[in-house]
Amino acid sequence: MEFIIAIVFILGYVFIAFEHPIRINKTATALLTGVLCWVLFAWSSPTTTLLGDDHYRTFLKDVTRTPVEAHHAYVVASLGHHLEEIAEILFFLMGAMTIVELLDVHQSFRIITNKITTRNPKKLLWIVCWVTFLLSSALDNLTTTIVMISLVRKLIPNKDMRLFFVGMIVIAANAGGAWSPIGDVTTTMLWIGGQISVVGIMKATFIPSAVCILVPLIYLSFTLKGRLGVEEQGATPDDGYSAGNANLMLILGFGALLFVPIFKTFTHFPPYMGMMLVLGIIWVASELINPDADDVERKQFSAASALGRIDMTSVLFFLGILLAVGALQSMATLTSLAEYLNHTIKDNRIIITLIGLFSSIVDNVPLVAASMGMYKLSVYPMDNMIWEYLAYCTGTGGSILIIGSAAGVAAMGMEQINFGWYLKRISLLAIMGYFAGAVVYLVLNMR
């Protein structure tokens, strides 16, 4: 049965990777894969590795149950344990997405985009990429990509040049998200799981992540050719825009997101508790920010309205993937895989580098979830090289192909970027940055 579950899991990966050609939403595939893995696990017989697990043996020692009942009880208990961990991640993401939607509806990001006025392509590329890099560490790489693509649409009428900028935005957004606990869902998973600390991940991966975007930018400073095109003139519709409200929500939103790690440090509560706290504060502010507006106008600027616009398909995708990985972890399959890799390759640095490259093909969320199951905290404690390097590699490796990250998929959808075009024009730049940052990390962390 373990072999069948592994086949189901791999098929799920394949369907997720080829979501667009087969025209089946990856969220549906992830949910089916997650549930099927647990059902098959409940129907299976214990594996040799699982029988050696002390926790599993405690269920078998219960004389009031038959072996089949004991196995089923273990499956149910394991499912509950994993669901508790998954819920923490999902509630955190939902809170963060709602705050970002509130900033967007108040047009707070316009404050940033209005400051960029240069018409020099090379200078603009540096500005756009570094703004993306920094912004994605405070928001997340997906949201930042969407915001920055909206910006370059305004600044770069030339279609070919704009697509090139969008490709670089994907690299910068993924690099920026890799060094922050709230910049990418994978670093958030590692942070919530206790594998990394806020200060630890920022100190260890900031320089490698910066090098990841710096190397392609230096190369392009000598090779980039083309023009931005003639900027379209015309007034930008206000749509209820208020500079005062936009400023207030921008300060509240960024302050709230940056406060979450501080809240965890002082209270030792899970991160989602801090996220719920700041969401509540911003929710109150959104209700009071337009006292003279009627109910209809106030509703569109409220958190209740923002909740209806968050990407719930992404939330359910994470649920399905994490359920599937949790089943493999409870079966001890991932433990066996880690032992096999260690005996075969015998160097965790090479293994994680390969995982990062593989994340360009397969979504990095299941890869990180699988790695968290492969390596135990009891062996590799918080801020170990394993976790820090994993955060960097899976965060930046997804830039190599456009289907390898949420930022890339969003860019593909918004600008109709062709897979082959990205492979030809952007992938080599992403590989240069990926390996440059990897070398820097390994040199800085030689032990």
- Taking the C-alpha atoms of residue 209 and residue 134, their distance in angstroms, rounded to an integer, is 11
User: For residue 290, which phi and psi values (nearest 5 degrees)?
Assistant: -125, 70
Residue 143: half-sphere exposure toward Cβ, Cα within 13 Å: 27
- Taking the C-alpha atoms of residue 277 and residue 152, their distance in angstroms, rounded to an integer, is 34
- Taking the C-alpha atoms of residue 37 and residue 225, their distance in angstroms, rounded to an integer, is 50
Instruction: Provide the percentage of residues in the chain whose pLDDT is more than 70.
Output: 91
More confident residue, 343 or 134: 134
- Taking the C-alpha atoms of residue 122 and residue 125, their distance in angstroms, rounded to an integer, is 5
Cβ atoms of residues 47 and 23 within 8 Å: no
More confident residue, 262 or 444: 444
Mean pLDDT score across all residues of the chain: 83
At 49 the pLDDT is: 62
What's the token pair of residue 30? Answer: 């992830």
19, pLDDT greater than 60: yes
Confidence of residue 126 (pLDDT cuts 50, 70, 90): very high
The three-state secondary structure class of 268 is coil
Rounded alpha-carbon distances, angstroms, from residue 364 to 13, 88, 197, 325, 399? 11, 19, 20, 12, 11
Nearest to 144 by CA among 176, 167, 116: 176
- Interhelix angle 185-192/364-374, nearest 10 degrees: 20
Nearest to 224 by CA among 113, 144, 128, 117: 128
Confidence of residue 63 (pLDDT cuts 50, 70, 90): low
Helices then strands (H, E): number in the chain? 24, 0
Average pLDDT of 191-199?
90
Q: Which residues, other chains included, contact 143 with Cβ-Cβ below 8 Å and sequence gap of 6+?
A: 97, 100, 136
For tokens 């549930």, what's the residue? 35
At 109 the pLDDT is: 73
Nearest to 29 by CA among 311, 370, 327, 324: 324
Confidence of residue 328 (pLDDT cuts 50, 70, 90): confident
User: For residue 358, which phi and psi values (nearest 5 degrees)?
Assistant: -65, -25
Q: State the amino acid at position 271 in one-letter form.
A: P
For the chain, the first-to-last Cα distance in angstroms comes to: 41
More confident residue, 226 or 399: 399
pTM for this one?
0.73
What's the token pair of residue 117? Answer: 């006025």
